[in-house]
Amino acid sequence: MRSSFWKSTAAAVASICVAAVLGSCAMEDIFNNLPGENATELYASSADDTFGTVSSADDGAGAEQTQADGTVSVPEQTETAPDAAQTSAAAVTETASTPDSSSEAEKSDKIVAVSAPPNPYAAEYFLSSESEEIKNSYRKLYEGIFNYQNTVELPERAVTGDEIEDLINFVLKTGSALDLPGSKYEVFVDSENYVTKVNLTYNHSLREGLTMYDALMKRVDEIAAEAEPLLNDYDKIKYFHDTIINNCMYDLNAPEAHTAYGALVGGRAVCDGYMKAFQLLCEKANIASVPVYGKPFAVDVGGEEHIWNKVSCGGEWFNLDTTWDDPVGEQQVLRYDYFLVDDATISRGVNIQNNRFMKVPAATNSSGDYYSRNDLVLGYDNNLSDQFEQLITKNMVGEWTEFSVDFRCLDKNLYDQLRMRYFTEASDGSKGFGDMLQEYMAPGEALRYTFSQNDNVYAYHINVSKG
């Protein structure tokens, strides 16, 4: 968290007001150091008698760790360089008004609060071990934010000033259908440091927010209906993963970038928008999923946060990161590097963080990922070169113009061996990847290839095309 605090002495009627500013942090796209993106603090506030500035989520989705390209041709051919789910809120009731000096626009925008949807699954999962006071406090904040209330009063002696930051983060991260509050909020605590109320600001009116909510849930219903014929949770999870990535671009500057609305309706979002979109789709399909966040190790990120999902598949928990599977670039790229991976794998790139109210389940199965399920892992059972060449050349039989191969190595040792063998210039005269391709080319034919690597999951992504 990047924070800059200074002391203040605002107090009124035995209450201390703590104000926080949630501002956007400019981030740059990260290449070569981060597997998918660089991410920043999602939401936070000061929890003592200070007035502070705190950053909100801005994260730069990244491309692959290492990218390279090349062309190969038979000797007589000149080389060719590659081209660089919830209840609808539509029914609202107008408040009665008498003639006054208010503008017509102001009058038309005045609507009563509506009934908020039930708590999301993720919230209930985490709240199951909490006290009734905490459960009631969560509900108060959730309903208040859903209805764009400027002041949310909390139950007496339920949440301390030291806990309120985590509680607000908890509500905003699990409330996947919620709009993101505005850039400032205030926390009031009593003389015993118990929070009495929270003042919030918003970027949209209640009417605007409910319209966006209905559009979001309509899109959730559409995608969930498309996935309904699929026979098992794995196929549905993959469908949700692919649909989000294929229809959303990573965009730091999108107006709704931090919301599920931005990802599913606007088609542009950052990591928390991606995460919330996946969360909503899983909930609609009755698939257990919770948010999890951490700080990437890449030095370029500056200690900022990233957020993704844990999802239950076949009775086991896995990490799934739609943002890091959607590399930044001109074209849409779909990856499975972070599809149903264990904690050991995700932890090579990010340090999982704990929230007072969000104790995430462990993910220990290392063979439930996409590559393992689809026999795309190069291991020790057979010669490494034989495995690799078979994986590539089986695509070069018969008529073809282009193909892509994605796979991972079982461990770092094999990953490094493959890189040195095929993608590093050899001094001993051994053949590299281009030399291998030449053996399968007709006289006068030219091929070009690109490849990228992910050092954290030991994955390679290779594209080969003719001409």
pTM of the model: 0.80
- The pLDDT value recorded for residue 410 is 97
Question: How do beta strands 181-189 and 151-153 pair?
Answer: unpaired
- The pLDDT value recorded for residue 256 is 96
Does residue 313 sit in the same domain as residue 351? yes
Does residue 33 sit in the same domain as residue 141? yes
**pLDDT-derived band of residue 420, with 50, 70 and 90 as boundaries?**
very high
| Per-residue pLDDT reduced to its tens digit, 198-207 | 999 999 999 9
Q: Which residue range is the domain that position 354 belongs to?
A: 206-372
**pLDDT-derived band of residue 428, with 50, 70 and 90 as boundaries?**
low
Does residue 179 sit in the same domain as residue 281? no
In the chain, the number of structural domains is 3
Domain boundary among 372, 393, 424: 372
Does residue 337 sit in the same domain as residue 255? yes
Does residue 301 sit in the same domain as residue 212? yes
- 165 burial type by CB count under 10 A (0-12 exposed, 13-18 middle, 19+ buried): buried
Amino acid at 296: P
Q: Tell me what percent of the residues of the chain surpass a pLDDT of 90.
A: 63
Does residue 418 sit in the same domain as residue 334? no
The answer to the question of residue 427 being in a domain is yes
Does residue 457 sit in the same domain as residue 344? no
Mean pLDDT of 374-390: 96
Does residue 260 sit in the same domain as residue 340? yes
Does residue 228 sit in the same domain as residue 357? yes
| Per-residue pLDDT reduced to its tens digit, 301-315 | 555 789 999 999 999
Does residue 257 sit in the same domain as residue 323? yes
The answer to the question of residue 432 being in a domain is yes
- The pLDDT value recorded for residue 42 is 28
The answer to the question of residue 79 being in a domain is no
The answer to the question of residue 101 being in a domain is no
The answer to the question of residue 434 being in a domain is yes
Domain boundary among 202, 232, 263: 202
Backbone angles phi, psi at 309, to 5 degrees: -120, 155
Task: Give residue 246's Cα distance to chain centre.
Answer: 14
pLDDT averaged over every residue in the chain: 80
Mean pLDDT of 67-89: 40
- The pLDDT value recorded for residue 174 is 97
- The pLDDT value recorded for residue 101 is 43
The answer to the question of residue 82 being in a domain is no
Instruction: Output the domain CATH number for residue 220.
Output: 3.10.620.30
The answer to the question of residue 108 being in a domain is no
Task: Tell me how far apart the alpha carbons of residues 183 and 201 are, in angstroms, rounded to a whole number.
Answer: 7
The answer to the question of residue 339 being in a domain is yes
Does residue 17 sit in the same domain as residue 158? yes
Does residue 316 sit in the same domain as residue 193? no
Domain boundary among 372, 391, 423: 372
